[in-house]
Amino acid sequence: MTPDPQREIRSRTRRSLITGAVAALAGGAAWEWLSTRREDDGIQWPLRLALRANEQLTRDYFKPARLARTFPPGAVESGRVNGDIGIKDPVPADWSLKVAVASDDGNREFQLSLADIQALPKVEQITELKCIEGWTRVLRWGGARFRDFVARHAPDRVDFDEGNDYVGMETPDAKYYVGLEMASAMHPQTLLAYEMNGKPLTGQHGAPLRLVIPLKYGIKNLKRIGKISFAFTRPPDFWGEQGYDWYAGF
Amino acid sequence: MKVLEAKHPRAIRWFHWVNFPLLALMLWSGLLIYWANDVYRIGLGGFTLLHFFPKWFYGLFNADHRLAEGMAWHFFFMWLFAINGAAYVIYTAVSGEWRYLVPNRNSLREAIQVTLYDLHLSKRHPPRHKFNGAQQIAYTSIVLMGAGSLVTGLAIWKPVQFGWITVALGGYGAVRVEHFLLALGYCAFFLVHIAQVWRAGWNNLRSMITGYEIVTAQDQV
């Protein structure tokens, strides 16, 4: 006996539409659930979890030694000023670089002058600053490698423990601050820079000393460093607290 | 005599309908990200014909000042989008369905026929089979576009770890443009796809829902 095709398609359509409706409802409920979760640093916690998972994937499976692209001198562009959080006031006349090193037998704190940083081997590099908003600038930086700074002034951190060692930096007024894992901080292209495009840094670009870290979005390239703190926990991060990825690395 | 004929396998229907909201969410979160530096336009010198995007457009999707959120959603759904796409490709490859989908040497000629017919420029109806040449080209292109979005996305997301891809595709700025153009491409595909589904009618759309189509049997015994 041949079944009536019209009847059969009607019943199949009904079944499929019910399945589809259930699936759509489940999807909608999942969306609603995700959207209404309590916030963890400015973003629904499942999304924060996903950002952290992506970070772990990057840190565990990618090679920290890979270099960011460098450019020929002809590619250098002019700087772009995009934010002044933490540098609204003039550079403090008594500026010095404060360094805090947490260790198992107490914290060590000391101060350095710009001359102390300039005494380290000078490096020049032309890299692309990538703003998290989407624009980029190819800029020529002059300064000292952060790893050379560590070797000279915090030698116990040269052999860092990637799972536990971090470094935080903040502006003198502590209004802008970034946190970094040591692998990115110790990368050979991470600089404590005092020159941009062949000239001493201007106030807007982070005088007297700023961080240049081409492995991270611009938000991590802190201007006007007031304090560097070596820590055993994840340091706070200004934009990381406002919904952005704490890691923000390439 | 009318009979029921199996057309679309269950797996392909699921991949298709799951992809629809996932792609929509990727486009929406992408718009939230693009808003933060919305510099693309069509124009010449100081003259702008079309700016991506006008203010009302962002308003429509409630997209302004939501960069952080956009990135978080984008980097969450990218996994589901990639997994669903990869599963579809693997399924079509293993099941043999790819034979109906991948263009062959007749596809281009047939696609031109289909286009002329659909635009009422030709009266000659193209040959009927599961997917005509135009569909084969469109449905294979959209998969390649998906792969393109994943590759350009990877080059934007990790331009140091995958720096060789970023450089090969023209550099960070160029890759961002490519990623954006692909997003526009999905929107264009969607419009044509909807128009064609509308024209093809309920029996055809229903086959993407149920898997079955009613056909006239020619020589059933």
Name residue A97's beta-bridge partners.
Answer: A112
Name residue B216's beta-bridge partners.
Answer: B2
The three-state secondary structure class of A88 is coil
Of the candidates B72, B79, B173, the beta carbon closest to that of A43 is on B72
**For residue B128, what pLDDT is reported?**
74
Across all residues in chain B, what is the average pLDDT?
94
- Does A145 have pLDDT greater than 70? yes
Strand residues in A10-121 grouped as ranges (E): 39-40, 43-44, 97-101, 108-112
**For residue B221, what pLDDT is reported?**
45
**For residue B129, what pLDDT is reported?**
79
B48-104 tens-digit pLDDT:
999 999 999 999 999 999 999 999 999 999 999 999 999 999 999 999 999 999 999
Residues B152 and B179: their CA atoms lie apart, in Å, by 6
B19 in contact with A at a CB cutoff of 8 Å?
Answer: no
Chain-centre distance for alpha carbon A231? 16
Q: Percentage of chain A with pLDDT > 90?
A: 93
**For residue B219, what pLDDT is reported?**
56
Residues B98 and B103: their CA atoms lie apart, in Å, by 9
Mean pLDDT of A98-126: 95
Residues on chain A bordering chain B, Cβ-to-Cβ distance under 8 angstroms: 5-6, 8-9, 12-13, 15-17, 20, 23, 27, 42-44, 46-48, 50-51, 54, 58, 62-63, 66-69, 128, 130-136, 214-215, 239, 242-245, 249-250
B41-62 tens-digit pLDDT:
999 988 999 999 999 999 999 9
The three-state secondary structure class of A181 is strand
Chain-centre distance for alpha carbon B106? 22
Question: Could B2 and A134 be called an inter-chain contact, meaning their C-beta atoms sit closer than 8 Å?
Answer: no
- Does A1 have pLDDT greater than 70? no
Tokens of B53: 């995007």
Tokens of A157: 């951190």
Mean pLDDT of A186-205: 97
Residues B65 and B24: their CA atoms lie apart, in Å, by 20
Nearest chain A residue to B176, by CA = A134
**The domain over range A43-242 is classified in CATH as 3.40.50.11540:** no
Lowest mean pLDDT among A106-120, A121-135, B113-127: B113-127
Amino acid found at B118: D
**For residue A190, what pLDDT is reported?**
98
Mean pLDDT of B170-194: 98
Domain boundaries, chain A: 5-36, 43-242
What predicted TM-score, i.e. pTM, was given to this entire model?
0.94
